[in-house]
A and B are shown apart, each in its own frame.
Chain A
Amino acid sequence: MTLCLVITAIVTLLAAVCAMSLRNLVHCALTLAVSFSGIAAIYLQLDAEFVGFTEILVYVGAVAILVVMAILLTRSGETTQPSVLTSGRLDLIGKFAGIGVTAAIFTTLGWAILSSSVLAKPGAVAPQVTVKDIGEVLMTRYVLPLEIVGLVLTAAMIGAVIIAYKEEAKSRSQVLPGAQTKTATSNQPAVVPPAENILKKAGVA
């Protein structure tokens, strides 16, 4: 339990607290990236080199950027979130209840960890993991999960693209006549297909 590990853990936890409590969403995303790199540093100190590098590649290099892009695309970076003091009483009760449940979870887990005698034994010898071992084990024992994860990633990629795909203009006009959707009609500009626009302009001019 070296000093380095303690300092890294404190930095990670502070960054995680900031990521969940700051009012400016982009600051939340950036402190989230800091906490991810802190976790990667902890992995490196636990002799899990490959997992640490993968964490930086996947989380800091991709998930943090995804979160940032989502914040930009939903225009949440402009307004700051309402602070605790300005929200209503119900919100305050809800927040305290949430934090109370969190404290209960952490107390239970912490008590279980600290009072266990199995976990208090000294650590084992550091294993020397080479990439060759990981490759061998991935291709012999865990080849089925590997292929399934490949399928899941492909499905997730295609699904994400389809969900976030911008719909064409004509599908917006298929709103049911009786629906009082204030979002679908009043906030959209008049959707006239561009070809008609050009023809109208040509006809007028």
Chain B
Amino acid sequence: MKRILIIEDELAYVRLLRDSLERDYEVLDAQDGKAGLAIAKKEKPDLILLDIRMPIMDGMTVLKELREDPYGKTAKVILLTNLEANNQIVAQVTQDLPVYYFIKSDVKLSDLLIKIDEVLQPQKK
């Protein structure tokens, strides 16, 4: 079973995502960037759902640090945020890498779940 790590400080999101994904995936979670980064390096999940605005360490820093790690270099990441990040900085960090970017309040839950399935099981499509 493929593993998904959710790094998100807002528990309501964590809970709903977990509920929606647990049937098909093993779900890990962390409530801040630093903890999330540690789990990611250790567990090497197949996909990371990463919030940007978080306490202790923000999502962009997590992403940068992750890119220093041999695993993290190619890790699949979906940025999930309500923050309108500076598009150019996002572009720099995500360039040529399997990083997707969604604004949580814009995207439908169902569309996000479809995207996750796509990313993790591209052969099915």
* A and B associate: no
